[in-house]
Amino acid sequence: MKMRFLALTLILTGGLFSMANSSEIAKIQFDNGLTLIHKKTGPLPIISVKLFLKTGCTNDPKEKLGLTNLTQQLLTRGTKTRTNEQIATEIESMGGHLSASCVEDYSEIDLDITQKYFTKAFDLLADVFLNPSFPADELEKAKTVTKASIRSRQDSIFEVTFDLLKKNLYQDHPYTNIPSGTLETVDKITQNDLVAYHKKYYGSQNILMVVTGNISLAEIKKAINKSFAGLSKGETPVTTLPIVTAQQKTEEQKGKFEQAYLMYGFLVPEISNNDYTKLKVLNTYLGGGMSSLLFQELREKAGLGYEVSSFYPSRKAQSSFVIYIGLDKSSLTLAKEKVNTILNELKTRPIDEARLKDAKKYIKGTFLLDHQTNSRQCWYLGWWETIGKGYKYDDVYASELEKITSADIKEVINKYFSGNYVYVQISPEK
């Protein structure tokens, strides 16, 4: 804890490291459409490669929810020339890391490797991306694990409440769905579905490759031209998602849990909107940590909840601002009254300047601390570019936070918290 505090202090005072200037980063597009972002770092012999794909679980067909997730899982389970065991043994023998995952707005494949084994590992990365065999036995194993994960969500009161909130807030929007899909849709997904999905979307015009580490631009271009020579263009997924109109809705359900849970959901803008950073600061001011307004008022002073917080996911399309409280059933009525009072007072009373300053410091500190590894620096460049802000925003985000004023916070409060919202709660059967 002391070391983390010292690191945070050094970062905030500029003593640990500085963010790389965007001028040190190159972005190029190959003739086949593949886009590369390269950042040379050193002197550590570590290289990170992240492949970001424009397709995420929002591109799943309604009858095949979970298709993107299973496709990603199966990428590293076998190719035309390697078995699952051979892939795992090969990457392990090099001391590297290779994985694939997906979320709502994109999918990614990650490789972290030492400089010594880069060429060999990069060939392996290209093989799992270009030539997955989607073995039938591995698909059945993945489906079994996925369905177990889906069932386990019903044991989490947070997940049950959040799923209920999304259903009411987003209605038929793809953001209602979870990446793993449903028990029914996962059962319907076949090996042919994975093959067709991969053929359709895993092409050069849908890929952003980010490479950071002790490797030159010339070296990585040579590696791409060699290992990804057989890359097809693929089809660009439809990325236009419907606009949701906010509705005033309340849904209260009984559950199997001993505790109660409540959530408020407000529709707010996507990451590319100019209010994004303001809302991020508001989120921390309101529900980010033990010094936040909600935590202090509801837990410390009123003793109403064991879990009090808020979150604002970064999304390509319309996002949500969520306030949640885990509490005893007997406290539900008073907790709702307190939250409503806090939200109303935010619109009328002055912003606490000290808390606002602390909120900005907290976001900046955690953001910079998360850039200490080569792998995370690589990820952030690709994430900003993929999600809609552009990779250069990684270099200015911390300074943009400093510009946020109490007037900015007031502006977004009145802009997004004065209209309709969704309220849901889960309470015990007895």
Residues 6+ apart with CB under 8 A from 241: 58, 173, 174, 175, 316, 317, 318
Q: What is the mean pLDDT of the chain?
A: 93
The per-residue pLDDT for 70 is 99
pLDDT tens column, 185-239: 999 999 999 999 999 999 999 999 999 999 999 999 999 999 998 898 888 776 6
Q: Classify domain 25-229 at the CATH topology level.
A: Cytochrome Bc1 Complex; Chain A, domain 1 (3.30.830)
- pLDDT interval class at 17 (50, 70, 90): very low
Kindly report whether the peptide bond that precedes residue 43 is cis, defined as omega within 30 degrees of 0: yes
Checking if the pLDDT of 14 tops 60, the result is: no
Distance from C-alpha of 97 to C-alpha of 239, rounded to nearest angstrom = 30
Checking if the pLDDT of 109 tops 60, the result is: yes
Distance from C-alpha of 46 to C-alpha of 356, rounded to nearest angstrom = 38
Checking if the pLDDT of 100 tops 80, the result is: yes
Residue 65: phi and psi, rounded to 5, are -60, 135
- pLDDT interval class at 42 (50, 70, 90): confident
The per-residue pLDDT for 239 is 67
pLDDT tens column, 377-430: 999 999 999 999 999 999 999 999 999 999 999 999 999 999 999 999 999 997
- pLDDT interval class at 10 (50, 70, 90): very low
Q: Classify domain 249-428 at the CATH topology level.
A: Cytochrome Bc1 Complex; Chain A, domain 1 (3.30.830)
Rounded mean pLDDT, 58-83: 97
pLDDT tens column, 245-290: 999 999 999 999 999 999 999 999 999 999 999 999 999 999 998 9
The per-residue pLDDT for 313 is 97
Distance from C-alpha of 189 to C-alpha of 168, rounded to nearest angstrom = 27
The per-residue pLDDT for 32 is 86
Contact between residue 265 and residue 421 where contact means Cβ atoms under 8 Å apart = yes
Checking if the pLDDT of 335 tops 50, the result is: yes
pLDDT tens column, 113-125: 999 999 999 999 9
Contact between residue 67 and residue 88 where contact means Cβ atoms under 8 Å apart = no
Q: Where in the sequence of the chain do the CATH 3.30.830.10 domains occur?
A: 25-229, 249-428
Nearest CA-CA partner of 70 in 144, 154, 155: 144
* pTM strictly above 0.85: yes
